[in-house]
Structure 1
Amino acid sequence: MNEHVHGAVDLTKNQSLVMGALTRSKEPLSAYTILDQLRDNGFRAPLQVYRALDKLVEFGLVHRLESLNAFVACRHPGCDGDDTITFMICERCGQVNELTDNALAKRLKLLAEDASFALKKTTIELRGICRRCQIA
């Protein structure tokens, strides 16, 4: 059974393999790409990958990028406690940068409160061209 121990998580074999694939990747991966990469490790069905991804997302180790229908390893330790996470996604190279902004998080929380909306979590995806691609 997985337990949080001092911020650490005891991962199953499948979760560790999926986490490894995401950590090694420089760009977001779809569940099917992960499945293809892990076939030699005994993965045969998308459900195996999705189960592992669901748990990794729950543990705050992985994020789902809705606009890409893909997943990335968390590059900002401890962000699972943040209410607002922002991703900058380069449309040329696929690089994803993760950041948090407390002022933005507060503003969004106030907007939600003004609308009598019980905000739980916000994920913002900014699409554009990264600095490296702009100068290339």
Structure 2
Amino acid sequence: MNPRPELTKNQSLVLRALDAADGPLSAYTILDRLREEGFRAPLQVYRALEKLQDFGLVHRLESINAFVACCQPHEHGHEMIAFAICEKCGKVDEFCDAAVQERLGTWVRTHRFKPAKTTIEIRGDCAACAETA
């Protein structure tokens, strides 16, 4: 495992905000939560998020334009990452699946495609929300 990178103050604050959140946060929600820490502009948040993503500490959920802290930093490298996103309560589960990764890998090799990143997002109801429906 790679050692944790040295984070700037802003990066540490953004990561801490995501770690403390009950679900994914938009950049503007992060900005609102960090105003008392001196954050004044969205660019401050976006720069910190970009570096945290580069370090593998944060993921962007593209379908909902929000961010979550990585549940296993540096464990997955650039492999396939999947997220189950509950549309009712906002809970996000991060997971890797070897069978899905192998199937996608076979397709990639067969078609000589060079992926830059593979992220799968499944949206629906988590088990708890499905029970109450």
Q: Same fold (TM over 0.5)?
A: yes
CA distance in 2, matches of 1:77, 1:6: 9
Q: Which residue of 2 aligns with 1:59?
A: 55
Q: CA deviation at 1:64?
A: 0.3
Q: Which has the higher strand share?
A: 1
CA distance in 2, matches of 1:126, 1:37: 27
Considering Cα pairs closer than 8 Å and 6+ residues apart, tell me whether 1 or 2 has the greater RCO. 2
From 9, 13, 19, the counterpart of 2:5: 9
Q: Which residue of 2 aligns with 1:100?
A: 96
Asked if 1:131 corresponds to 2:127, the answer is yes
Q: CA deviation at 1:83?
A: 1.3
Structure 1 stretches of 4+ with a deviation exceeding 4 A read: none
CA distance in 1, matches of 2:76, 2:53: 9
Q: TM-score, normalised by structure 1?
A: 0.92
Aligned length, in residue pairs: 132
Q: CA deviation at 1:6?
A: 4.6
Which ranges in structure 2 are unaligned for 5 or more consecutive residues? none
Q: TM-score, normalised by structure 2?
A: 0.94
Question: What do you get for the CA RMSD once the two structures are aligned?
Answer: 1.4
Per-residue CA deviation, residues 28-74 of structure 1 (Å, 9 max, x unaligned), is: 00000000110111000000000000000000000000001100001
**Does structure 2 conserve the Cα–Cα contact (< 8 Å) formed by 1:75 and 1:98?**
yes
